[in-house]
């Protein structure tokens, strides 16, 4: 997340996307690049609504259909990840230059945080499962973020 790298990131993911579009014979439209750039400008998790709003703020209105369409392309070329955290709405995040991590989900305010534990990861990666060939996994930890934990403690005392 080095500031000096940020321009590089745009270039790199832009180029990766371009390669993918070329190989697939898809067109390089301004909408597609606007969406990609915005995703890599925002650091955190987002859903369709927040992405749409953010685009509107940049004076770049993109229709719902195109948003979903483009997100699917970005999923296909591994530039975006998609999550379902028990709500109906899907949550997305950028995939490039974003190390593997788990998620902490506050059941009070809905805040989503990344969580890393290399020790835990190495254990998970080395799990031997009978009659099953794992490709990937996700670990979601539900509970209270520090802000909500404090709030609720005060309320109850």
Q: Which does 155 bind (CB under 5 to 8 A by kind): a second copy, DNA, none?
A: none
Q: Which stretch binds DNA (CB under 7 A): 42-50, 99-107, 118-126, 135-143?
A: 42-50
Identify the CA nearest to 141 among candidates 110, 108, 115, 109: 115
Q: What DSSP character marks residue 101?
A: -
Compute the least distance from the CB of residue 105 to DNA, in Å: 16
Compute the least distance from the CB of residue 145 to DNA, in Å: 22
**What is the total residue count of the chain?**
157
Burial of 140 (0-12, 13-18, 19+ CB in 10 A): middle
The values of phi and psi at residue 116, to 5°, are -120, 140
Would you say 9 or 104 has its CB closer to a second copy?
Answer: 104
Would you say 95 or 151 has its CB closer to DNA?
Answer: 95
> Cα separation of 19 and 73, whole Å?
12
Would you say 75 or 151 has its CB closer to DNA?
Answer: 75
Burial of 37 (0-12, 13-18, 19+ CB in 10 A): middle
- What residues make contact with a second copy under the rule CB under 8 A? 82, 84-88, 104, 106-107, 113, 115, 117, 120, 123-124, 127, 129, 131-146, 149
Binding site for DNA (CB under 7 A): 21, 25-32, 47-49, 61-66, 68-70, 72, 88-90
């Amino acid at each position: 997340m080095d500031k000096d790298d940020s321009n590089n990131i745009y270039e790199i993911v832009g180029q990766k996307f371009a390669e993918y579009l070329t190989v697939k014979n898809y067109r390089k439209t301004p909408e597609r690049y606007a969406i990609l750039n915005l995703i890599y400008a925002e650091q955190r998790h987002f859903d369709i609504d927040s992405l749409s709003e953010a685009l509107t703020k940049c004076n770049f209105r993109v229709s719902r259909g195109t948003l979903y369409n483009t997100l699917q392309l970005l999923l296909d070329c591994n530039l975006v990840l998609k999550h379902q955290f028990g709500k109906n709405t899907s949550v997305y995040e950028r995939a490039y230059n974003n190390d593997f991590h788990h998620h902490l989900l506050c059941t009070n305010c809905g805040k989503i945080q990344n969580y890393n534990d290399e020790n835990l990861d190495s254990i998970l990666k080395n799990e031997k499962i009978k009659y099953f060939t794992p490709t990937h996994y996700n670990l979601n930890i539900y509970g209270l973020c520090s802000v909500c934990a404090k709030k609720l403690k005060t309320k109850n005392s």
